[in-house]
Amino acid sequence: MKIYETNNSLAVFSDRNDGDLNFYVLTKEQLKKNWEDLTQKFNTKLDFPLYVNQVHQDNIIKISLNTNRPTPFTKADALITDLPRTPIGVFTADCCPVLIKSNKAVSATHAGWKSTLLEISSKTVSAYNKFYGIKPTELTAYIGPCIGQCCFELGDEVYDMFISHNLEWEKFFIRKTKWLMDLRGLNRFQLLKAGIPQNQIIELNECTYCNPEKYFSYRKMKKRNGSMFSFIFLK
């Protein structure tokens, strides 16, 4: 587990040592126990987190007192809230988790290659201004572990989609037997383009595929055999 704590927020990236946190496949009793075990590691008691059905698109759910809480069946890939002590999170096992905080609101984003193509990271940054009037320069972003360019092979058709969308993105691909994509780097680039200063983007630069003893990796395991959970909340 990696924790980033400030005076008003706490961001957490779980790893394999924290157990399988794929809440969709666990019983209610197991869910409760796993969450309590996890939160005990940083000495605080929290309500069960809010999360959604991740569909590799770019829908962002705003959570407030005046809106219905998302359910595990709500289709989205990012959540944002200004409610205190309300943990929100995303599941990953190779995709890129991005947690963003300001003094007034926090967000959690799931960025696989399809959502990255749709610029979900930059759209999440824009949501801060849209919903709360918060400028990008007021944000700090944490990019969690994901599959690295060393291991993320994609076909010609995917490369073509990215380059036809934005020629600047070509630098995040290198050609070997297949195209290798820098998923983390492209999400960092999108955050920078959206206006977050470089010194306010913090990366946990580890490849999930290269480190199966530490992280769950869908591609390494050839199936879904566990998930990390990345979450954030305002204190």
For residue 193, the model assigns a pLDDT of 98
The model carries a pTM of: 0.95
Fold of 2-234: CNF1/YfiH-like putative cysteine hydrolases (3.60.140)
213 alpha-carbon distance from chain centroid: 21
* Token pair 């988790």 in the structure block, residue: 97
Q: How far apart are CA 42 and CA 4, in angstroms?
A: 11
Q: What's the pLDDT tens digit per position in 88-101?
A: 999 999 999 999 99
For residue 171, the model assigns a pLDDT of 98
CB 179 within 8 A of CB 154: yes
Q: How far apart are CA 35 and CA 45, in angstroms?
A: 10
Q: How far apart are CA 50 and CA 168, in angstroms?
A: 35
For residue 67, the model assigns a pLDDT of 78
Closest C-alpha among 203, 181, 204 to residue 192:
203
The CA–CA distances, whole Å, from 116 to 17, 71, 155, 159, 235 equal 28, 23, 16, 12, 29
Q: In which residue ranges of the chain is pLDDT below 50?
A: none
Q: How far apart are CA 234 and CA 157, in angstroms?
A: 41
Q: What's the pLDDT tens digit per position in 168-193?
A: 999 999 999 999 999 999 999 999 99
> Mean pLDDT, the chain, as a whole number?
93
CB 59 within 8 A of CB 75: yes
Q: What's the pLDDT tens digit per position in 50-60?
A: 999 999 999 99
For residue 223, the model assigns a pLDDT of 64
For residue 41, the model assigns a pLDDT of 78
For residue 29, the model assigns a pLDDT of 85
CB 100 within 8 A of CB 234: no
For residue 46, the model assigns a pLDDT of 84
CB 216 within 8 A of CB 225: yes
Which residue ranges make up each domain of the chain?
Answer: 2-234
